[in-house]
């Protein structure tokens, strides 16, 4: 992990950009940390530059609660190499949505599964590097989309203790089986009228999660309309489970 | 409205029992109110004595936030006269649930509609009396079950500005039409494994609400298992909209 830039934000939060091999990322740490900080991994749909304002907002909110927060670029997004087949799958998805057709399993699988396969080990490598820093301890939470990445991480990565999952992307059928294996506390956010999501599939996925501690917060509105109070409630969930 | 008893609870909240004609009720007001307090009407499934500990807990929580809170006995519950047909409908419901059969519309209608017809005007009369007290002002919220009573009140009673609805009872088909007429902010609580509820109907009802501000909080567990943090979130919703 190589830090490539460093700045203090106006609230004292230290923001550092880094690279881990070919993967760019950003780490935010609280202004004044007296002990190694618990960590929140910030998930997003890809495109670090475009997502920066919202990610930094979430990170500063977390830092105010004493958390470090980190994110990495998704495979195939931003400056990174495209994923084979992803452009085709995205075009197929657009065509299906514009035609008002149901989005077929083969489109969803082609869009999401290669992303999950590649992103999850990258998150794990990033976690190795982050936890080797003296200013970061644990526990660790995951917060955000892509929901299938969060589900896979919750299953395979024992260092993640709780997760906020944003149900804002299509879910491959195979993830419903994996969902049964999730045993950590979950807080699921659903935008009721999300155009890039299948509401019934999101409800079925929530039902499938094997954990004994799960909460669904659904709010009226589209994909980007998560209300401030819903973000606050998700932050409260992480504070309850990670501190 | 006649007060029949009065006591100060250990946190200074004033608890007064009252009767309004044949209807018994309880009013809680904050320890130190400098101005007329906003009011929360506490809904419940019937049986004031049995429900008292939980109602008093919710009322004291509300009082700590500066709210007055009040509840009345439901028609047909506690010491009040039985409702015609209700015993039969309850027996039919039990039989259907024990047999694992779907609960028919005629059972749900017979169980819920007479209750709504009688309870809603009683809540309105109670509201008249409460708002005539100098220590109570507004705005007014409704919080709790029976969800169909909350829906009808939200439609017909313009003095109610926001409602927390507990989706813990069966919903007559006619209420889905009424739900479209609800325009106040709603916060709906759903216990995912509630045995006395139809989950899909609850989700359909949430979908049907006409308001532009609605949130669904679903938590794992049965009818009486609403977690403390879900109660806190509902209280935050009321504080956001009534203060």
Q: Which one, of B27, B61, B31, B29, lies nearest residue B226 by Cα?
A: B61
Reported as a pLDDT band with limits 50, 70 and 90, residue A32 is confident
State the pLDDT at residue B197: 84
Please answer whether residues A145 and A202 qualify as being in contact, where contact means their C-beta atoms are separated by less than 8 angstroms: no
Measured in whole angstroms, the distance separating CA A139 from the mean position of its chain's CA atoms is: 16
**pTM tops 0.80, yes or no:** yes
Q: Do B233 and A233 touch (CB under 8 A)?
A: yes
Mutate to test the interface with A, among B190, B192, B210 (most CBs of A within 10 A): B192
Per-residue pLDDT, averaged over A71-90, amounts to 93
The average confidence (pLDDT) of chain B is: 95
Q: Evaluate whether A73 touches A23 at the Cβ level (below 8 Å).
A: yes
Q: Are A220 and B213 in contact (CB under 8 A)?
A: yes
pLDDT of residue A34: 78
pLDDT of residue B211: 97
Using the beta-carbon criterion (under 8 Å), do B216 and A212 form an inter-chain contact?
A: no
Contact A216 B215 (CB under 8 A): no
Sign of CA dihedral A163, A164, A169, A172: positive
Evaluate whether B39 touches B131 at the Cβ level (below 8 Å).
yes
Q: In degrees rounded to 5, what are phi and psi of residue B162?
A: -165, 155
Does A180 touch chain B if contact means CB atoms closer than 8 Å?
no
Nearest CA in chain A to B229: A237
Lowest mean pLDDT across A9-18, A34-43, A67-76, A191-200: A191-200
B219/A214 CB distance under 8 A: yes
Strands (E), B108-196: 136-144, 160-167, 186-191
Mean pLDDT of A131-145: 96
Task: Check pLDDT > 90 for residue A119.
Answer: yes
Q: Which residue out of A162, A205, A215, A236 would a mutagenesis test of the B interface target, given it has the greatest number of B Cβ atoms within 10 Å?
A: A215
Which of these CATH numbers, 3.30.300.30, 1.10.150.120, 3.40.800.10, 3.40.50.1820, describes B2-75+116-242?
3.40.50.1820
Rg (CA), chain B: 17
Mean pLDDT of chain A, nearest integer: 95
Phi, psi (degrees; rounded to nearest 5) at A236: -60, -40
User: Tens digit of pLDDT for each residue in B206-243?
Assistant: 999 999 999 999 999 999 999 999 999 999 999 999 98
Q: Band of the pLDDT at A3, cuts 50, 70, 90?
A: very high
Chain B residues within 8 A of A211 when measuring between CB atoms? 220
Q: By the CB < 8 Å criterion, does A220 face chain B? A: yes
CA–CA separation, B27 and B18 (whole Å): 7
Q: Which residue of A has its CA nearest to B210?
A: A220
Interval A21-43 mean pLDDT = 94
Identify whether the C-beta of residue A170 lies closer than 8 Å to the C-beta of residue A112.
Answer: yes
**B230, A212: Cβ pair inside 8 Å?**
no
Interface check for A212 against chain B (CB to CB < 8 A): the answer is yes
> What share of chain B has pLDDT > 70, as a percent?
100
Residue B207 to residue A213, Cβ atoms within 8 A? no
The answer on pLDDT for A15 being more than 90 is: yes
Q: Got the DSSP string for B211-229?
A: -S-EEEEEESS-TT---HH
**What is the pLDDT, as a whole number, of residue A187?**
98
Region A62-86 average pLDDT: 94
Does B156 contact A at CB distance below 8 Å? Answer: no
The CATH number of domain A2-81+120-242 is 3.40.50.1820: yes
State the smallest CA–CA distance between residue B59 and chain A in angstroms: 22
Examine the pLDDT at B123 and tell me if it is beyond 90. Answer: yes
Structure tokens at A7: 């700045």
Best CA proximity match to A112, nearest among A148, A80, A76:
A148
Please name the residues in contact with A52: beta carbons below 8 A apart, sequence gap of 6 or more.
A26
Q: Could B203 and A207 be called an inter-chain contact, meaning their C-beta atoms sit closer than 8 Å?
A: no
Which chain B residue's Cα is nearest to A211? Answer: B220
Tens digits of residue pLDDT in A211-227? 999 999 999 999 999 99
Least-confidence region, from B9-13, B68-72, B81-85, B151-155: B81-85
Whole-number pLDDT of residue B185: 98
Q: Hey, where are the domains in chain B?
A: 2-75+116-242
């Amino acid at each position: 992990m190589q830090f490539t830039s460093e700045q203090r934000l106006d609230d004292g939060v230290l923001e550092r950009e880094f690279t881990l091999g070919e993967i760019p990322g950003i780490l935010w740490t609280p202004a004044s940390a007296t002990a190694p900080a618990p960590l929140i991994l910030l998930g997003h749909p890809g495109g670090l530059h475009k997502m920066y304002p919202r990610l930094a907002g979430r990170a500063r909110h977390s830092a105010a609660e004493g958390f470090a927060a980190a994110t990495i670029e998704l495979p195939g997004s931003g400056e990174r190499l495209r994923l084979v087949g992803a452009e085709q799958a995205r075009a197929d998805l657009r065509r299906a949505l514009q035609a008002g057709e149901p989005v077929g399993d083969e489109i969803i699988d082609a869009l999401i599964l290669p992303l999950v396969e590649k992103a999850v080990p990258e998150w794990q490598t990033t976690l190795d590097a982050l936890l080797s820093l003296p200013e970061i301890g644990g526990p660790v939470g995951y917060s955000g989309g892509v929901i299938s990445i969060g589900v896979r991480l919750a299953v395979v990565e024992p260092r993640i203790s709780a997760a906020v999952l944003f149900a804002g992307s299509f879910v491959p059928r195979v993830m419903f089986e994996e969902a049964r294996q999730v045993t950590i506390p979950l807080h699921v956010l659903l935008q009721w009228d999300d155009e890039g999501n299948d509401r019934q599939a999101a409800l079925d996925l929530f039902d499938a999660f094997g954990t004994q501690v799960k909460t669904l917060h659904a709010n009226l509105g589209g994909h980007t309309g998560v209300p401030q109070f819903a973000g606050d409630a998700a932050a409260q969930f992480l504070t309850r489970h990670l501190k």
